[in-house]
């Protein structure tokens, strides 16, 4: 196995009551790649993502990030290690302005989980604001920086959340259906945005329904069905895999 796997999901099992949500999941995400996880509804994609960020603990197995086991760590500790998740339903700070929404994660990146040094925080504020504005600009929301986040459209909220993730410059960015509910135009601009970050050594895991998004971005695709990995490989190879076609066509129609 190549040694530059940044994330290794090792033999993970997870059941909810009698339902086996994940079984025998063994997955490696290579540094610097964009790795898509696809599969029909209920395949266990979101469960897998939740296991990766510490929201759910696996029944057996472990998640290893950069050589360190992260299962059992607090969500904020996992974030501090460089894993950032962008949620499927936008998780933002509705009462804060757009700029503040991005400044909060920027401070988290700079100051760590808890560092109460007001003077230093004040001194760094211009730098933080610059970073935040830069990311707002990237997602095309800079002109609305003083608007309250709750007033945004759903698509804009998702872009805001993307900026909140990008400002932390994570080593691993987990995107849960980043384009769900977006218009074709917004979807394309999100794809362009994510492509822009490809060269920066940021590893991305994308969960997606939209095949157009998957095949425009992914270097590698893993297909889940009923909690198991049924295919894993480069996009073209996966596309032609009969098991995948069966899972998609047979499972949903």
Residue numbers of the site for another protein (CB under 8 A)? 53, 55, 74-76, 79-80, 85, 87, 91-97, 100, 103-105, 107-109, 112-114, 116, 118-119, 121-122, 125, 128, 146-148, 151, 164, 168
Cβ proximity to another protein: between 153 and 183 the closer is 153
Token representation of residue 191: 């794809």
Cβ proximity to another protein: between 84 and 221 the closer is 84
Cβ proximity to another protein: between 69 and 113 the closer is 113
With beta carbons less than 8 A apart as the criterion, state whether 185 and 197 touch.
Answer: no
> C-beta of 106: minimal distance to another protein in Å?
10
> C-beta of 234: minimal distance to another protein in Å?
31
> C-beta of 98: minimal distance to another protein in Å?
10
> C-beta of 135: minimal distance to another protein in Å?
14
For residue 80, what are the CA distances in angstroms to 65, 68, 74, 76, 83? 12, 13, 10, 6, 7
> C-beta of 74: minimal distance to another protein in Å?
7
Cβ proximity to another protein: between 52 and 231 the closer is 52
CA distance 31 to 94: 33
> C-beta of 35: minimal distance to another protein in Å?
20
Cβ proximity to another protein: between 44 and 90 the closer is 90
Contacts of range 139-148, beta carbons closer than 8 Å, 24 or more positions apart:
139/163, 139/166, 139/193, 140/189, 141/98, 144/98, 145/97, 145/98, 145/99, 146/97, 146/98, 146/99, 147/97, 147/98, 148/94, 148/95, 148/96, 148/97
With beta carbons less than 8 A apart as the criterion, state whether 167 and 102 touch.
Answer: yes
CA distance 202 to 135: 15
Which residues is 251 bridged to in the sheet?
A: none
Which residues is 29 bridged to in the sheet?
A: 7
Cβ proximity to another protein: between 121 and 142 the closer is 121
């Amino acid at each position: 196995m190549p040694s530059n796997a940044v994330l290794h999901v090792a033999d993970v099992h997870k059941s909810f009551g009698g339902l086996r949500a994940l079984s025998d999941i063994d997955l490696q995400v290579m540094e610097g790649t964009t790795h898509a996880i696809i599969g029909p509804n209920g395949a266990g994609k979101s469960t897998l993502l939740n296991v990766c960020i510490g929201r759910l603990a696996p029944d057996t197995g472990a998640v290893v990030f950069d050589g360190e086991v992260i299962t059992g760590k607090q969500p904020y500790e996992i974030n501090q290690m460089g894993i950032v998740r962008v949620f499927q339903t936008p998780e933002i700070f509705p009462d804060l302005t757009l700029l503040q929404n991005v400044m909060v994660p920027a401070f988290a990146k700079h100051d760590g989980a808890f560092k109460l040094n007001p003077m230093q925080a004040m001194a760094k504020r211009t730098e933080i604001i610059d970073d935040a504005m830069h990311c707002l600009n990237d997602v095309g929301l800079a002109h609305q920086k003083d608007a309250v986040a709750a007033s945004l459209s759903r698509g804009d909220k998702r872009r805001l959340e993307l900026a909140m993730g990008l400002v932390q410059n994570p080593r691993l960015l987990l995107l849960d259906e980043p384009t769900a509910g977006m218009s074709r135009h917004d979807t394309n601009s999100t794809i362009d945005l994510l492509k822009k970050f490809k060269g920066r050594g940021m590893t991305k895991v994308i969960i997606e329904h939209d095949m157009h998004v998957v095949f425009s971005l992914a270097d590698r695709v893993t297909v889940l069905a009923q909690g198991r990995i049924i295919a894993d490989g480069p996009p073209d190879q996966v596309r032609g895999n009969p098991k995948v076609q069966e899972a998609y066509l047979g499972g949903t129609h």
